[in-house]
Structure 1
């Protein structure tokens, strides 16, 4: 299993009709995001990496930071009419997948996907997938597509009611995605509750290949 973020773009359509955007290239290895003061968008950028893949439970209340009502530009504050996250990700074969998710006027459950780099994004060749019940099992479920793209197997674990269930990507990401407000409180502090018994043990065992 391998997933690498290569580009992230945040787009906002303003009330004055203009499009504001910020695009960041993420190189292989460590990437340092540094600003000279607070409230410059570091957390927004990092949270977009999770929300852009439909992993909302990892950031929970911090999703609101992605959908502010206004954006400060040279002419002053402008109302945001529409906003979206675009992510370019790569797998172990260096294949590229670009994903677009609308976050305003509402946090969309639909995901637009195009196979190829972000630089070639266009309406042609778009595929639409969705989040929610069946996201891991239905042919149009986004997390099924993502799991297949990055090579994440269907790992079976024990549920709280002694049944068998799947280990979801949200558990894997909770072990490697450290969100600044709650992420330092504990190992896997942002872990969601999806009825897995001993979720930390199951997740760490999968990450270590045990």
Structure 2
């Protein structure tokens, strides 16, 4: 089961998730709008490895005031990810997509835009809680979208470097590059001295080959 915890119905409707849309996924998705609804399901929810999608501001709503403070609740959810249960934190203040083991953080628009794809895949795979979470984070072709995000980050890292300057691959750039190479199965010869321009050219060529087969 997937639990979607978000107090704002109007926010969901903004992304075309109405009561009617949610009803199509009743067998796979439980939508929670209030602390009262949460209290009815929390024992079952926390006794399993079910997937939780949690809006960061849920307990900021005065009507959802909790006995614990918000910081402690968030920590409890983070601790749950260490027990091999996926928790996805989402909200308007989240500016980027992060996956760290079972801990996931994404912008609110990304969650609702990719939710249909994710739910369909979840049902197709027998509602297996080990589903590839990147369907939710990056969409149906998560490999292509993830490559695009990584490429944008790499280009941003190189923004202030002159095109004809020799490339110095620092730790952050190296991490992003290795992630991209792992997805594409490509390699780059780091014995070779790259200029920023030649590096971008080689990387774009590698990505194009992967996408076009």
TM-score by length of 2: 0.25
TM-score w.r.t. length of structure 1: 0.25
Structure number with higher strand proportion = 1
State the structure with bigger RCO (CA 8 A, min sep 6), 1 or 2. Answer: 1
Which structure's residues are more often helix, by fraction?
2
